[in-house]
């Protein structure tokens, strides 16, 4: 049995899983969540196909290169893979002037745009777990990260002694019934109003008079009470998940939250912990930034990276989903799908190439949702399948001499 | 065998001062003159160019996560892009972007194109080690390595507060060095990054940490001792408390004394050489700092020279960077408390020559260069990108070598700087030999790179030829030839090939008991397992880099 | 408003008309199409100018002389195709767009005049420092807003005859935006200073407003609760604004000096205002 393995299936990268290989399939035997138990078992083999016809993966990669060379506006999307896969995607995009985007690019972009427009104080999971005596859940219950509460909130005994944490929910997260008595439902309202609610909190924290006595049925005094709680924290953490807020205006809420955290931090300590990073998004953002100067979405123009401004129409998509068997490529565009062997994310694509799942069938590395820790992925059930990077490198090799600016 | 003729070699290690000679290279190494009978496959006439070993940057933030944060905060810096292109040998030169915070591929190319063949990331967090090494693997051509950031991590502070034996602390340091594939140990604002998490906004050398009760002096001494006892070639690399604070000269001087004779390297000292005299409460204390360095042979420094223009400041020092946030330009900054290990703060910044403080910072750095007498103990850095991007090095070399040029620039900056700085009175002009020391031989010796930084037989054949030019800026910006491991990779400032460089690391030994203790601490309290900090040799190769090259853990005799 | 005229290099040369060819690439960056960079060139010379690396202007455009126009005047016939970044960092002359413009129209504009006969995409006037942009049709989202790498509008005048999309004036710092057809939701969000005039706008106007003025004729729906009513008063500068807009031949309902002043966003310092004309 393999102990203390990293789970690649959400941005938390829990690294305490026990995994066994049974008949070539990985099974979670210790720790892990329902999602991990469902996604670790992956068939060791699947058939590569070109237009429905069975083919060797190398032949499929060659066919993909031919179609890529003929495409005018290709894109490499989904990008659900490990760091080496993202790197290979960029090297391919550079050769064929492709657009590069991640499945969770919209949430990434909201977060990025908010941090580029002011200050941001952030923290990481271990700091939250050991220090936080007050956690403000803004519009989220961390539902996309199943073990967040178990790993970061519930441990009471920390490095600095026992912690009484106040756990406060605002927004839609506070509208549903509490599953635990520990959660305080401070202010319930739709997440679309989050930016305004945070501005109200900031106004009351700054001691500003307001004409309004109520806001969406909530007496303003409730904001005062919440402001007092936030101010009383020794180390407060504001948690949100941009994916649960609607772009493009979610960034206004994120910006307001960062400003709130910075204002609270003048007297006591506060920091933010944005959640996200699923499907390798945090790693994709990191690699794209160190190699291309920006997170996805980006595009290459004449071999130089640029921000991808608008969602241009694309005429061929290379869709990568090594972690999620159900991630579907955009409809109505010919697709080359590089995905796990049990992928079932829609109709049969033009070309399908099964790839090894990093962390299950192949070693690799990913960046955790809090962006700093970078963890290794093991291969508890090695399979005779190529990695995402192997396939993309083969496509790139097939492209040699065909691309628009190969020898420019 | 390759022979280079008519090379005017400056090699301070061998005492060569520009006499024209031939050099011999075989299998990537320098070899002695094999005599007239030897078979020489290739001869390159360097036409009396000035030849030195490849440049070595001892302190350049090119790999850590904070640089990536800086990139994301500076979209303007990345609006200017470079296209991918095929190189002469058929290999590929990747595209990229950024001036102050270049993307990793082009960061490597740019170093090579100005004759630098090694650069070291000075602030690697253990939890970020893997990403740092991957980024460095994506920094082509140059050799690289990283210094692990310790001294603000809760486990170390707990051990220290509980009075752990020096041997125990040394084991801890050794474990971190070995597992994270580091070449040296750095401490940033000793204890202060942790103190900030407890809402302390300043921590002077003898001020107690609010929770642990230990002082920065204790942290510093314990780490310096551990590094020394382990035989780590490079002394403890110290970013002292009170970065950028007017009057911090007192702290810096006291830190130098705190070493009590143990070797210490103080980094980006320009940012720690400030007085608070004068009408603006900000003055140069470079003279006092330089005198202290001159007096104490256990010390070395690098400067962290400021040059004018847009850049980003990126530091582990959350306490200082949080205080600096209002100077952000453009107005976006990020500070992160990290994993009960450390922190980081990124504040984009523009140094303006017409701003008194910025121009005085520029003058203070130059004063340090000119006042420290022993070139073997001062290294040329801008603390890339904090003082300026490393691409200003050729201009900085000219400022050191050309007094007239220096004074003309002094005339052009904020008019009060000339009055508040002794710079104009400093006549010293660096010789080519001194440049070779502060940019290659000195850093190599300090880091324990025995076969780099010089050109004696057996040395790695990393060398560079510059056409002699009284305009030293132009001369150093565009070498005529650069060789990496004996391969010609740059001709007339243009990249010809982009091989992968080596990652240099140490593997000190430690008592197994510390591994159990560290594992227990991580498993019980933190959100990741200690064994997952370890960066494997094979995984670096799998990613596209090279397995680390392990250097011996013994100091120069 | 006086506009700086660019230096003409020869008295006999005329302006140019560029007509986009149907076979031009889909994603075309129009940042290089500036009056100053083509001034004084014959159509044949202009056609040989590089438009993008490896692409000559003549491959994408038919180039004709425009004898009626002076040489610092450039006309682009784009039809419905949307070229991004038209007039980027332009510092003088006149750029006329017959048809639609894409995103980032007049990005970082430093001087001169841009007239778009059709509509424009998102982020028109992003980072604009000076000069005048006129859009006869509708504008997209983030009018005068802060595109990545740019601040919001920093100066100059931006006039839209049609409607503007969401978040007009986002993070605007200085200058004047007027939108005759009204703005979408989140108008004036996080505005730092400057003036935005529109008859009406969508929900949540002024959220995060730090300084600056939104001048409206109708109170916006769902006004953030962080605005306080400071009552009705006379604002002399509104009359000046009215005369200025009239001089620019921009049609809006008449601006009275009397207006209701709503002060906010109290969460962001509370130094901004929404003026409801007529009270």
Q: Dump pLDDT digits (tens) for C201-243.
A: 999 999 999 999 999 999 999 999 999 999 999 999 999 999 9
Please state, in angstroms and rounded to a whole number, the distance separating the CA atoms of residues B288 and B301.
14
CATH, residue A326:
3.40.50.740
Contacts of C148 in chain B (CB under 8 A): 75
Last residue of a domain, one of A252, A276, A300: A276
Q: With CA atoms as reference, report the closest residue to A284 among A390, A364, A384, A381.
A: A364
Kindly state whether residue A28 falls inside one of the protein's structural domains: no
Please, what are the domains in chain C?
A: 77-277 (2.160.20.60)
This complex has an ipTM of: 0.96
> Do residue A99 and residue A126 come from a single domain?
no
Of A304, A296, A289, A294, nearest to A320 (Cα)? A296
**Spatial distance between the Cα atoms of B519 and A363, rounded to a whole number of angstroms:** 22
Residue A402 pLDDT exceeds 60: no
H or E stretch covering B378: strand B378-379
CA angle B211/B212/B215 to nearest 5° reads 115
Among residues A259, A276, A293, which one ends one of the domains? A276
**Which residue in chain B has the smallest CA separation from A115?**
B332
Q: Is C145 left (phi over 0), alpha (psi -120 to 50) or beta?
A: beta
Rounded CA separation C133/C127 (Å): 13
Structural domain includes residue A33: no
B162, with CB counted inside 10 A (0-12, 13-18, 19+), is exposed
pLDDT single digits (tens) A194-214: 999 999 999 999 999 999 999
* Subunits close to B (at least 3 CB pairs below 8 A): A, C
* Residues A189 and A66 occupy one common structural domain: no
Distance from CA of C83 to the nearest CA of B (A): 19
Q: What is the mean pLDDT of residues C87-96?
A: 94
Q: Which of A130, A306, A376 sits opposite B539 (nearest CB)?
A: A376
All residues of chain B having their beta carbon less than 8 Å from the beta carbon of residue A117 are 332
- Residue C124 contacts A, CB cutoff 8 Å: no
Q: Do C53 and B76 touch (CB under 8 A)?
A: no
**For the residues A224-246, what does the mean pLDDT come to?**
96
Q: Report if residue A139 sits inside a domain.
A: yes
Q: Is residue B533 part of a domain?
A: no
- Testing the interface with C: which of A96, A199, A212 to mutate, by most C Cβ within 10 A? A199
Query: Is B12 part of any domain?
Result: no
Q: Do A187 and A206 lie in a common domain? A: yes
pLDDT band, residue C18 (cuts 50/70/90): very high
Once rounded to an integer, what is the mean pLDDT over residues C189-198?
96
What are A206's two structure tokens? 């700054």
pLDDT tens-digit profile of A337-375? 999 999 999 899 999 999 999 999 999 999 999 999 999
Residue A45 has pLDDT above 70, yes or no: yes
Kindly tell me the burial class for residue B238, based on how many C-beta atoms sit within 10 Å of its own C-beta (0-12, 13-18, 19 or more).
buried
What's the domain range around B449? 52-495
CA-nearest of B179, B176, B119, B168 to B152 is: B176
Whether B330 and C151 lie within 8 Å, measured CB to CB? yes
Task: Say yes or no: A58 and A117 in one domain.
Answer: no
Chain C residues whose CB is inside 8 A of the A295 CB are none
Which residues 116-145 of A have a C-beta within 8 angstroms of C? 116-117
Closest by CA to A94, choosing from A76, A71, A108, is: A76
Give the total number of structural domains in chain A. 2
A 10 A CB-CB count for C7 gives 12
Do residues C12 and C119 lie in contact, with contact meaning Cβ atoms separated by under 8 Å? no
Q: What is the CATH number of the domain that holds A130?
A: 3.40.228.10
What's the order of all strands across the beta sheet hosting A183-187? A183-187, A166-170, A134-138, A235-241, A269-275, A119-122, B333-338, B342-351, B309-315
Which of A244, A276, A308 terminates a domain? The answer is: A276
The answer to whether B359 and B284 are in contact (CB under 8 A) is no
Q: Is residue B513 assigned to a domain?
A: no
Q: Supply A185's token pair.
A: 């439902």
CA distance C196 to B367: 51
Residue of A nearest to B132 (CA): A374
Measured between beta carbons, which residues in chain A are less than 8 angstroms from residue B196?
269
The H-or-E segment that residue B486 falls in is: none
Same domain for A166 and A213, yes or no, is yes
Q: Report if residue B543 sits inside a domain.
A: no
- Is the backbone peptide bond immediately before A188 cis, with ω within 30 degrees of 0? no
Give the C-alpha separation, B490 to B496, whole Å: 5
For residue B101, give how far its alpha carbon lies from the nearest alpha carbon of chain C (Å).
15
In a domain, B23, yes or no: no
Residue with tokens 């880091």: B447
Interface membership of A127 toward B (CB under 8 Å): yes
Nearest to B314 by CA among B132, B446, B494: B132
Question: How many CA atoms, within 13 angstroms, populate the side-chain half-sphere of residue B443?
Answer: 30
Q: Are residues A133 and A60 in the same domain?
A: no
Task: Give Cα A203 to chain centroid, integer Å.
Answer: 32
What are the two backbone dihedrals, phi and then psi, of residue A109, each rounded to the nearest 5 degrees? -65, -40
- The reply to whether residue C267 touches residue A198, judged by beta carbons under 8 angstroms, is yes
Q: Which residue has the tokens 């609006």?
A: B79
pLDDT at C162 over 90: yes
With CA atoms as reference, the chain B residue closest to C150 would be B76
The domain containing residue A185 runs over which residues?
108-276
Cβ neighbours for A332, distance < 8 A, ≥ 6 positions apart: none
Same-domain status, A77 and A127: no
Mode of pairing for the β-strands spanning A48-50 and A53-55: antiparallel
pLDDT tens digits, one per residue of A74-126: 999 999 999 999 999 999 999 999 999 999 999 999 999 999 999 999 999 99
Helix (H) or strand (E) holding B307: none
pLDDT, residue A178, reads 64
Q: Please give the span between the terminal C-alpha atoms of chain B, in angstroms, as a whole number.
A: 32
Which residues on chain A are in Cβ contact (under 8 Å) with C208?
A: 195, 199, 252, 255-256
- pLDDT above 50: residue A406: no
What is the DSSP code string of A104-135?
Answer: THHHHHHHHHHHTTSEEEE--HHHHHHH-SEE
Instruction: Using the structure block, give the residue that is written with the tokens 């205080």.
Output: B323
CA separation (Å) from C5 to A309, B214, C97, C112? 32, 68, 19, 7
Answer yes or no: is B131 within a domain: yes
Residue listed under structure tokens 């944060």? B69
Whether cis (ω within 30° of 0) applies to the bond prior to B240 is no
Decide if B333 and A294 are in contact by the 8 Å CB cutoff: no
**Which helix (H) or strand (E) segment is C145 a member of?**
none
Domain presence at residue B281: yes
d(Cα B306, Cα B274) in Å, to the nearest integer?
A: 14
Reference C114, options C181, C67, C160; nearest CA is: C160
| C33 to B215, B508, C90, C94: CA distances (angstroms) | 62, 61, 9, 11
pLDDT for residue A312 is more than 70:
no
Quick check: is B45 in a domain?
no
Which structure tokens are listed for B356? 């008194």
Q: How many domains does chain B divide into? A: 1
Q: Tell me the C-alpha distance between B488 and B466, whole Å.
A: 14
Per-residue pLDDT of C36-84, as tens digits, reads 989 888 999 999 998 876 788 998 999 999 988 888 899 999 887 778 8
Which of A72, A199, A309 lies nearest to residue C224, judging by beta carbons?
A: A199
- Cα–Cα distance measured from residue A321 to residue A284, given in angstroms and rounded to the nearest whole number: 13
CB A130 within 8 A of CB B340: yes
The three-class DSSP label of residue A399 is helix
CA-nearest of C245, A195, C223, C187 to C261 is C223
Same domain, A255 and A132: yes
Q: How many CB atoms within 10 Å of residue B542?
A: 18
- Domain shared by A302 and A237, yes or no: no
Q: Is A45 exposed, middle or buried (0-12, 13-18, 19+ CB in 10 A)?
A: exposed
| Residue A353 lies inside a defined structural domain of this protein | yes
For residue A15, being part of any structural domain is answered with no
Whether the CB-CB separation of A166 and A132 falls below 8 Å is answered with: no
Distance CA C52, CA C46 (A): 14
* CATH number of the domain that residue B357 is part of: 3.20.20.140
Closest Cα in chain B, distance from residue C152 (Å): 13
Work out the mean pLDDT of chain C and round it to a whole number.
90
Please list the pLDDT of chain B residue by residue as tens digits (557 residues).
999 999 999 999 999 999 999 999 999 999 999 998 989 999 999 999 999 999 999 999 999 999 999 999 999 999 889 999 999 888 889 999 999 999 999 999 999 999 999 999 999 999 999 999 999 999 999 999 999 999 999 999 999 999 999 999 999 999 999 999 999 999 999 999 999 999 999 999 999 999 999 999 999 999 999 999 999 999 999 999 999 999 999 999 999 999 889 999 999 999 999 999 999 999 999 999 999 999 999 999 999 999 999 999 999 999 999 999 999 998 899 999 999 999 999 999 999 999 999 999 999 999 999 999 999 999 999 999 999 999 999 999 999 999 999 999 999 999 999 999 999 999 999 999 999 999 999 999 999 999 999 999 999 999 999 999 999 999 999 999 999 999 999 999 899 999 999 999 999 999 999 999 999 999 999 999 999 999 998 999 999 889 999 999 876 44
Q: Is A262 found in the same domain as A161?
A: yes
Q: Are residues A264 and A290 in the same domain?
A: no
Q: With beta carbons less than 8 A apart as the criterion, state whether C228 and C210 touch.
A: no
DSSP SS3 for C203: coil
Distance in angstroms (rounded) separating the CA atoms of residues B237 and B215: 18
CA–CA distance, A111 with A342 (Å, rounded to integer): 32
Q: Distance between CA atoms of B258 and B255, rounded to whole angstroms?
A: 5
Same structural domain, A340 and A242: no
Contact A202 C103 (CB under 8 A): no
- The C-alpha atoms of residue B50 and residue B469 are separated, in whole angstroms, by 10
* Alpha-carbon gap, residue B201 to B173, rounded angstroms: 27
B227 by Cβ neighbours in 10 Å (0-12 / 13-18 / 19+) ranks as buried
Say how far residue A99 (Cα) sits from the centre of its chain: 19
Q: Which of C104, C228, C268 sits opposite A211 (nearest CB)?
A: C228
**pLDDT-based confidence at residue A180 (cuts at 50, 70, 90):** low
Q: If we measure between CA atoms, which residue out of B456, B484, B504, B543 comes closest to residue B111?
A: B484
Q: Which of C 224-263 lie inside 8 A of A, CB atoms?
A: 224-229
Location of structure tokens 């999971």:
A125
Does residue A21 lie within any of the structural domains? no
Mutation choice for B interface testing from C149, C154, C210 by most B CBs within 10 A: C149
Picking from C256, C216, C253, C217, the residue whose alpha carbon sits closest to that of residue C238 is: C256
Q: DSSP letter at B325? A: G
The CA distance from A271 to B348, in Å, is 20
Q: Does B333 touch chain A (CB under 8 A)?
A: yes
């Amino acid at each position: 049995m393999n102990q203390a393995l990293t789970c690649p299936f959400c941005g938390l990268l829990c690294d305490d899983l026990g995994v066994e290989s049974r008949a070539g399939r990985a099974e979670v035997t210790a720790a892990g969540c329902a999602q991990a138990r469902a996604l670790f078992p992956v068939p060791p083999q699947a058939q590569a196909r070109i237009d429905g016809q069975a083919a060797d993966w190398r032949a499929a990669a060659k066919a993909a290169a031919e179609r890529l060379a003929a495409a005018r506006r290709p894109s490499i999307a989904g990008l659900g893979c490990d760091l080496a896969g993202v790197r290979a995607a960029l090297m391919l995009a550079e050769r064929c002037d492709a657009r590069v985007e991640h499945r969770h690019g919209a949430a990434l972009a909201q977060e990025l745009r908010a941090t580029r427009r002011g200050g941001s104080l952030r923290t990481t999971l271990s700091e939250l777990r050991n220090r936080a005596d007050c956690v403000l859940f803004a519009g989220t219950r961390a539902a996309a990260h199943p073990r967040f509460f178990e790993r970061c909130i519930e441990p009471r005994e920390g490095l600095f002694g026992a912690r009484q944490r106040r756990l406060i929910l605002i927004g839609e997260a506070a509208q549903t019934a509490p599953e635990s008595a520990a959660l305080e439902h401070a202010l319930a309202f739709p997440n679309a109003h989050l930016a305004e609610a945070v501005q109200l909190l900031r106004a009351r924290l700054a001691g500003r008079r307001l004409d309004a006595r109520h806001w969406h049925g909530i007496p303003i005094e409730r904001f005062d009470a919440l402001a007092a709680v936030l101010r009383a924290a020794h180390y407060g953490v504001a948690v949100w998940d941009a994916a649960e807020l609607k772009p493009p205006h979610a960034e206004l809420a994120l910006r307001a939250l960062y400003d709130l955290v910075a204002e609270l931090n003048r007297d006591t300590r506060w920091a933010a912990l944005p959640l996200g990073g699923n499907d390798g998004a945090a790693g994709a953002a990191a690699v794209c930034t160190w190699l291309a100067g920006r997170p996805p979405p980006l595009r290459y123009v004449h071999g130089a990276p640029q921000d991808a401004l608008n969602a241009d129409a694309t005429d061929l998509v290379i869709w990568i989903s090594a972690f999620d068997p159900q991630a579907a490529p955009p409809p109505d565009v010919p697709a080359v799908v590089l995905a796990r062997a049990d992928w079932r994310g829609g109709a049969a694509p033009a070309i399908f190439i099964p790839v090894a799942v990093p962390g299950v069938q192949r070693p690799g590395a990913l960046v955790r949702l809090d962006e700093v820790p970078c963890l290794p992925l093991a291969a508890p059930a090695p399979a005779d399948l190529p990695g995402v990077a192997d396939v993309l490198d083969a496509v790139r090799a097939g492209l040699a001499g065909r691309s628009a600016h190969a020898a420019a | 065998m390759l022979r280079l003729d008519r090379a005017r070699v400056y090699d301070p290690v061998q005492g060569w001062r520009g006499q024209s000679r031939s050099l011999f290279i075989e299998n990537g190494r320098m070899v002695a003159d094999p005599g007239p009978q030897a078979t020489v496959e290739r001869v390159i006439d360097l036409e009396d160019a000035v030849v030195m070993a490849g440049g070595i940057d001892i302190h350049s933030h090119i790999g850590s996560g904070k640089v990536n944060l800086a990139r994301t905060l500076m979209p303007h810096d990345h609006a200017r892009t470079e296209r991918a292109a095929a190189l002469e040998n058929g290999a590929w030169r990747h595209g990229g972007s950024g001036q102050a915070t270049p993307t990793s591929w082009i960061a490597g190319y740019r170093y090579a194109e100005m004759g630098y063949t090694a650069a070291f990331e000075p602030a690697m967090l253990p939890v970020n080690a893997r990403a740092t090494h991957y980024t460095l693997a994506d920094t082509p051509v140059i050799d690289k390595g990283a210094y692990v950031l310790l001294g603000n991590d809760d486990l170390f502070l707990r051990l220290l507060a509980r009075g752990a034996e020096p041997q125990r602390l040394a084991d801890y340091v050794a474990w971190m060095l070995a597992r994270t594939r580091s070449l040296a140990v750095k401490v940033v604002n000793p204890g202060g990054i942790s103190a900030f998490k407890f809402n302390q906004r300043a921590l002077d050398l003898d001020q107690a940490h609010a929770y642990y009760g230990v002082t920065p002096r204790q942290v510093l001494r314990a780490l310096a001792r551990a590094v020394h006892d382990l035989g780590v070639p490079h002394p403890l690399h110290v970013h002292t408390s009170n970065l950028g604070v007017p009057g911090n000269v007192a702290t810096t001087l006291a830190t130098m004394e705190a070493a009590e004779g143990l070797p210490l390297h103080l980094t980006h000292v320009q940012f720690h050489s400030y007085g608070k005299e004068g009408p603006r409460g900000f003055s140069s204390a470079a003279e006092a700092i330089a005198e202290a360095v001159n007096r104490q042979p256990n010390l070395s420094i690098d400067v962290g020279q400021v040059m004018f223009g847009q850049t980003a400041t990126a530091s582990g020092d959350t306490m200082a960077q949080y205080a600096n946030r209002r100077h952000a330009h453009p107005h976006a900054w990020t500070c992160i408390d990290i994993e009960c290990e450390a922190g980081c703060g990124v504040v984009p910044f523009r140094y303006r020559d017409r701003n008194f403080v910025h121009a005085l910072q520029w003058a203070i750095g130059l004063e340090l260069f000119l006042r420290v007498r022993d070139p073997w103990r001062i290294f040329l850095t801008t603390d890339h990108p904090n003082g300026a991007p490393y691409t200003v090095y050729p201009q900085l070399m000219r400022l050191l070598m050309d007094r007239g040029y220096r004074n003309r620039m002094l005339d052009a900056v904020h008019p009060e700087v000339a009055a508040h700085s002794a710079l104009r009175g400093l006549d010293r002009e660096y010789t080519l030999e001194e440049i070779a020391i502060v940019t290659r031989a000195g850093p190599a010796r300090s880091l324990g790179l025995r076969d780099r930084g010089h050109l004696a037989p057996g040395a790695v054949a990393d060398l560079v030829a510059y056409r002699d030019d009284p305009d030293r800026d132009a001369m150093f910006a565009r070498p005529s030839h650069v060789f990496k491991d004996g391969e010609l990779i740059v001709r007339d400032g243009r990249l010809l090939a982009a091989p992968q460089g080596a990652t240099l690391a140490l593997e000190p030994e430690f008592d197994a008991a510390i591994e159990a203790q560290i594992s227990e601490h991580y498993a019980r309290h933190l959100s990741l397992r200690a064994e997952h900090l370890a960066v494997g040799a094979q995984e670096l190769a799998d990613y596209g880099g090279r397995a680390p090259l392990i250097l011996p853990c013994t100091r120069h005799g | 408003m006086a506009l700086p005229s660019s230096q003409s290099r020869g008295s006999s040369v005329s302006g140019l008309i560029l007509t986009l060819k149907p076979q031009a690439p889909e994603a075309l960056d129009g940042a290089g199409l500036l009056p100053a960079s083509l001034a004084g060139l014959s159509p044949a010379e202009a056609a040989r100018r590089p438009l993008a690396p490896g692409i000559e202007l003549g491959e994408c455009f038919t180039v004709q002389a425009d004898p009626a126009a002076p040489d610092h005047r450039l006309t682009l016939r784009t039809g419905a195709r949307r070229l991004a970044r038209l007039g980027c960092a332009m510092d003088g002359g006149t750029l006329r767009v017959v048809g639609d413009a894409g995103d980032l129209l007049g990005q970082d504009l430093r001087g001169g005049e841009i007239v778009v006969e059709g509509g424009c995409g998102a982020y028109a006037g992003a980072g604009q420092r000076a000069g005048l942009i006129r859009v006869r049709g509708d504008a997209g989202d983030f009018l005068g807003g802060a595109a990545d790498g740019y601040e919001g509008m920093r100066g100059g005048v931006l006039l839209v005859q049609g409607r503007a999309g969401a978040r007009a004036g986002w993070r605007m710092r200085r200058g004047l935006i007027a939108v005759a057809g009204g703005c979408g939701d989140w108008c004036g969000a996080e505005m730092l200073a400057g003036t935005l005039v529109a008859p009406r706008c969508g929900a949540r106007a002024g959220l995060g407003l730090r300084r600056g003025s939104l001048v409206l004729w109708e109170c916006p729906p769902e006004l953030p609760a962080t605005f306080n009513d400071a009552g009705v008063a006379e604002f002399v500068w509104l009359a000046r604004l009215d005369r200025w807009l009239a001089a620019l031949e921009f049609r809006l309902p008449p601006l009275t000096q009397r207006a209701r002043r709503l002060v906010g966003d109290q969460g962001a310092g509370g130094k901004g205002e929404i003026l409801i004309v007529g009270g």
